[in-house]
Structure 1
Amino acid sequence: MVKATAGKAAKPTITKKTTKAAAGAPSQLNQSSRKGKRAWRKNVDIQDVEAGMEEMRAEERVIGKTLQATKDQDLFQIDVTGDAQIRKSLPRFSTSQLSSIKILAERSAVPAVFSRPSSTTASKKRKPLVSNEKKTRLLRIAKRPRKGPFNSVIDPTEFGAGSAIIELSEAVKNSGTYDAWAPPPPQEEIKEGLETVQKKSVKVPALSRVRDTIDVPAIIQPHQGTSYNPPVESHQELLLQAHGIEERRIRDAEKLAEVKEKIEAAKRDVEENNPAVASGMKLHEDIVGNEDDGESVEGEGDLPSKRLPPRKTQAQRKKAARLLAEKRELAERAARKRMLAAIPSAKTLRRSNARLTSVREKALMEKRTAEVDKIKQHGLAGRKLGKHKVPERAVVVQLGEDLSESLRALKPEGNLFRDRFLSLQQRALVEPRVPVLPKKHRSKIVEYEKHAWKRFDRD
């Protein structure tokens, strides 16, 4: 291709043509020789023609036909008066509709190509001359093998005896009529007639769940004192709250240390008193034996030997039985006397017992109500479920000198993942757990003493 400019000598400018067309079909345009019709037709440049055809195909996909075949009345419209209802017909802007949904909503006006024949082509198809029933009857008369499902041969002598599926089964006929989640039908009571055995309906127990009682939000609004520039009263209130929690923790730790110290002191006392005996065991002093003389010498702390009581005579046994019978009779008289004295005051005792019972029940009801209110407000914080205890929410507060008073110098406090996991535990959505750290596997070193080192001279 040669281009010329005015006032200057024309210089030939050669433009290289691509070896690939815009539509994607390969072309051979770089061949210099075009001798003959075949070479001319093969190496001709038809990229502009293909681009025009592709534009026409795109118009046909969107509109249904090309713009050249469309009339002017369908393309243009002169609006003189205007339409007040056009604003209602226009699609409204929707923030919920995604761009991907809008793209998928645009469909081509060209109908899709189906592999199955349409109804028009099916109607033109020639109908068979012999129906299926007539063909089956003729095969049965001629005693020819009849093909069933999966190319199986049906025995004509045992037609319908399991050799092939002739009709639909009952399960297929009743498919879609049974609902597994539908409530059971009500049982009909037979008032007249013979006795019948009816199946009892099982009543589902109504169990109260703790999760339904808890009314704790997933994300609790933070205290006003946790701000980077909080009011003085809120900051002091949060500091006192954190101080109380820390003081209670230190007090519990001191109590535990005291109990441990008492246990250790008791162990030391036992070890000091009996140094030769293991801790936790107390034994009496044994009798020290004299091995030389073969005689046993009693220690100072020996227990006295138990003497057997002398046998009673017959008169002593009768006297003891008579005294025992008199004691029993006196005890029965005293019990009867107490019972007769308590009969007039039975009403008073009943009233006092009912009063005590009502007070006890009222206190128990108040305790249960307070417990339910606490669970409703704070969840399961501080309660032990199974092995572990649900941890309470920690108070995050900064001291006065640590406050930044500006967002630029603010330092993050706490952990969002830990707070979220703690919220799930307190709302009874996740069971309480403790972090399990992986243990480092340590190989045990086994030492062997070689035989050469077992025999050596000692000085």
Structure 2
Amino acid sequence: MAKSSTAKTSIVRAVKTSTTTKKVTKSATGAPSQLNQSSRKGKRAWRKNVDIQDVEEGMEGMRAEERVIGKTLQATKDQDLFQIDVKGDAQVRKSLPRFSTSQLTSTKILAQRSAVPAVLSRPSTASKKRKSLVTHEEKARLLRISKRPRKGPFNSVIDPTELGAGSAILELSEAVKSSGTYDAWAPPPPQEEIKDGLETVQPKVIKAPALTRVRDTIEMPAIVEPHQGTSYNPPVQAHQELLLQAHEKEEQRIRAAEKLADVKEKMESAKRDVEEPNLAVASGMKLYEDIADEDEDEDESAPDGGADIAAKRLPPRKTQAQRRKAARLLAEKRELAERAARKRMLAVIPSAKTLRRANAKLMWARKMEQEKKLTAETEKLKQQGLAGRKLGKHKVPEGTVDVQLGEDLSESLRQLKPEGNLFRDRFLSMQQRALVEPRVPVLPKKQRTKIVEYEKHAWKRFE
């Protein structure tokens, strides 16, 4: 009897705990739920608060199977779901798709498409537009035959007789219809020779210009990989190398500025050395006193006076004997000069082959040097582009070296300060790759009002 009473009490406690436990009020499928009931008095409360979550989950699973496969697995036959492999295939692994890390979850979700066809709001036959049996041109021709007015835009009547007056629709010309089919550089079609006994003018064949573009030679990337020394925590050797590059560029700039300053100073000193013009006398004129002083100096410089100068300048007349003697001496000098020239030529003839070989070697060395120089320039053009070259009026800049000193380097990314300018780097890269011509920045000038002064008539009279 005691055992039966203890069993009853344990059953009552189990029932109490099962009734007092709090049920989940939220449905797993997202449907509205009313499971949190206060009492079970009456059939309405039992029907309203009944728990059918397991039934809803099963139905939702069947709906998912129908969306993916097209029908439920219960309605699918076994031969469609399973296959007995007796022999096996070694090529299955090769045909299976490989795992790709680039496939995102969003791509997988978008790739899932339902096998159930979409529901249309209207029948598919009515959604298709009926094709017109009569074309637009045929309709216009029938309207012209029946002499009915043809309607245009804004329900206006078009008169086909007034072409070009604005009311008729003009058709496309032959030039517009054949546009894009003519090639100016295409080879001309073969022409038949006309043998009519007359002179026929053949059209001149135009050849396409063979031009080499510098842009095709440049292989410089759009964004050059930065130097290791530009990092916020660079290696010591790379940072020192970048500092030396910046130092060399700065020295070149200072030397160019000093050279320009020296040239300007020489020009200014040359201007200062020139005598200042006499404002009292016009340019190109001399005073009478200066002319008289110059004449006196010339007279004093002559030893016997100015009258003997003209007499000394006149050479005496030669006699016939003197003339013959001078001609004989001249002929002897010419003969000696011809002998010496012939002797030199005879001495050079045996060494002609040696001179030709030396000349060929010299020309070959010059040619090889020119080819080597051209190859170096081409390689530099491929790697560095047009940096440092002058095109037109301006020179393509080489770019600056962005480097920080040792005490300015930051120890972390939080303390890093930006260096350089991205817009300047992109524009400089386009100039070096021959995409944009070299230019000089034009800064806007502030417009200043010009003051115009007028002098009144009363202030012009000086007394």
Q: TM-score over 0.5 for the alignment?
A: yes
Q: Where in structure 2 are the equivalents of 1:137-216 lying within 5 Å?
A: 150-151=160-161, 179-181=181-183, 183-184=186-187, 187=190, 201-216=205-220
- Aligned with 2:264 (options 260, 281, 288): 260
Tell me by how many angstroms 1:245 deviates.
0.7
Tell me by how many angstroms 1:349 deviates.
0.7
Aligned residue number for residue 377 of structure 2: 371
User: For residues 441 and 243 of structure 1, do their structure 2 counterparts lie closer, same or farther at Cα, with a shift above 3 Å needed?
Assistant: same
What is the number of residues matched between the two proteins?
A: 319
CA contact (8 A) 2:188 2:205 kept: no
Q: Where in structure 2 are the equivalents of 1:24-423 lying within 5 Å?
A: 77-80=71-74, 81=76, 110=122, 111-112=126-127, 118-119=132-133, 150-151=160-161, 179-181=181-183, 183-184=186-187, 187=190, 201-268=205-272, 270-271=273-274, 274-276=275-277, 288=289, 298=295, 300=297, 309-310=313-314, 313=317, 315=319, 318=323, 326-423=332-429
Tell me by how many angstroms 1:224 deviates.
0.9
Three-state SS of the structure 1 residue aligned to 2:160 is helix
Three-state SS of the structure 2 residue aligned to 1:250 is helix
Aligned residue number for residue 23 of structure 1: none
Tell me by how many angstroms 1:205 deviates.
4.0
CA contact (8 A) 1:288 1:298 kept: no
Q: Distance in 2 between matches of 1:260 and 1:220?
A: 39
Q: Which residue identity does 2:160 align to in structure 1? A: F
Q: Distance in 1 between matches of 2:208 and 2:218?
A: 23
Deviations 1:194-237 (A, max 9, x none): 99997675443432221111110001111111111111111111
Aligned residue number for residue 26 of structure 1: none
CA contact (8 A) 1:285 1:301 kept: no
Aligned residue number for residue 90 of structure 2: none
Aligned residue number for residue 49 of structure 2: none
User: For residues 312 and 383 of structure 1, do their structure 2 counterparts lie closer, same or farther at Cα, with a shift above 3 Å needed?
Assistant: farther
CA contact (8 A) 1:214 1:376 kept: yes
Tell me by how many angstroms 1:410 deviates.
1.4
List alignment gaps of at least 5 residues for structure 1. 1-75, 123-131, 137-148, 153-169
Q: Distance in 2 between matches of 1:201 and 1:456?
A: 81
Deviations 1:355-389 (A, max 9, x none): 11011111111111111111111111001111000
More helix by share: 2
Q: Distance in 2 between matches of 1:329 and 1:283?
A: 54
CA contact (8 A) 1:389 1:432 kept: yes
CA contact (8 A) 1:287 1:298 kept: no
CA contact (8 A) 2:228 2:234 kept: yes
Tell me by how many angstroms 1:424 deviates.
0.6
Q: Distance in 2 between matches of 1:96 and 1:261?
A: 73
Taking only the aligned residue pairs, the percentage that are identical comes to 57
CA contact (8 A) 1:224 1:235 kept: yes
Q: Distance in 2 between matches of 1:202 and 1:454?
A: 73
Tell me by how many angstroms 1:408 deviates.
1.4
CA contact (8 A) 2:229 2:235 kept: yes
Q: Distance in 2 between matches of 1:345 and 1:171?
A: 77
Aligned residues: CA RMSD: 5.1
CA contact (8 A) 1:228 1:407 kept: yes
Taking structure 1 as the reference length, the TM-score comes to 0.55
Q: Distance in 2 between matches of 1:180 and 1:370?
A: 43
CA contact (8 A) 2:222 2:429 kept: yes
Q: Distance in 1 between matches of 2:405 and 2:462?
A: 71
Q: Distance in 2 between matches of 1:423 and 1:301?
A: 72
User: For residues 364 and 277 of structure 1, do their structure 2 counterparts lie closer, same or farther at Cα, with a shift above 3 Å needed?
Assistant: farther
Establish whether residue 438 from structure 1 lines up as the match of residue 444 from structure 2: yes
Deviations 1:43-83 (A, max 9, x none): xxxxxxxxxxxxxxxxxxxxxxxxxxxxxxxxx94432386
Deviations 1:317-346 (A, max 9, x none): 946666555544444433333222211111
Q: Which residue identity does 1:446 align to in structure 2? A: V
Tell me by how many angstroms 1:239 deviates.
0.6
Q: Distance in 2 between matches of 1:423 and 1:287?
A: 70
List alignment gaps of at least 5 residues for structure 2. 1-69, 83-96, 98-102, 135-141, 147-158, 163-172
Q: Distance in 1 between matches of 2:331 and 2:204?
A: 61
Three-state SS of the structure 2 residue aligned to 1:345 is helix
Deviations 1:25-48 (A, max 9, x none): xxxxxxxxxxxxxxxxxxxxxxxx
Tell me by how many angstroms 1:260 deviates.
2.4
Q: Distance in 2 between matches of 1:413 and 1:435?
A: 21
CA contact (8 A) 1:238 1:397 kept: yes
